[in-house]
């Protein structure tokens, strides 16, 4: 698969799919990007840790400070405690708020972000 075709499929997946986090997954907010495909995030409870970006998103999807993600926990991680499973756009945030899956701690932050 060419790089352009891969990018097209990844972007289509991120923009088109509607996703609801499972029991193990959590919604987090990006605080900063230290590099090496790592992002420092904060949970709704205020816990901070690093998450890794899977290779399918690298050079295809850009994540900046203030974005929201759905992450899967990594059991053996000490510094890097989760991996990004989905990048949430404005439409995803609105639908999660309507369905009641959105954490209360992020409500006012999401309003400012939109």
Q: 86: which strand partners? A: 70
Provide the CATH number for the domain formed by 23-111 in this structure.
Answer: 2.40.50.140
Q: Check if the beta carbon of residue 2 is closer than 8 Å to that of residue 60.
A: no
DSSP SS3 for 8: helix
pLDDT tens digits, residue range 84-93? Answer: 999 998 888 9
pTM for the whole thing?
0.86
| Domain range list for the chain | 23-111
Mean pLDDT of the chain: 87
Tell me the two tokens of residue 61: 């999807």
Q: 84: which strand partners? A: 71
Q: Which residue has the tokens 């999660």?
A: 96
Residue 18 pLDDT class (50, 70, 90 cuts): confident
Q: Check if the beta carbon of residue 66 is closer than 8 Å to that of residue 82.
A: no
Q: Which helix (H) or strand (E) holds 95?
A: helix 90-99
User: Cα separation of 76 and 91, whole Å?
Assistant: 33
pLDDT average, residue stretch 35-52: 95
Decide the pairing of beta strands 80-88 and 48-52. parallel
pLDDT tens digits, residue range 54-88? Answer: 998 888 888 999 999 999 999 887 889 999 999 99
């Amino acid at each position: 698969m060419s790089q352009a075709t891969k990018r097209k499929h990844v972007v289509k997946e991120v923009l088109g799919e509607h996703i609801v986090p499972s029991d193990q997954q959590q919604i987090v907010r990006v605080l900063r990007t230290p590099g090496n495909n790592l992002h420092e995030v904060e949970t709704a409870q205020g816990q901070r840790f690093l998450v890794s970006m899977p290779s399918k998103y690298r050079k295809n999807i850009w994540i900046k400070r203030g974005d929201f993600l759905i992450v899967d926990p990594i059991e053996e991680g000490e510094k890097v405690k989760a991996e990004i499973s989905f990048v949430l756009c404005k439409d995803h945030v609105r639908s999660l708020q309507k369905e009641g899956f959105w954490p209360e701690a992020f409500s006012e932050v999401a309003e400012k972000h939109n």
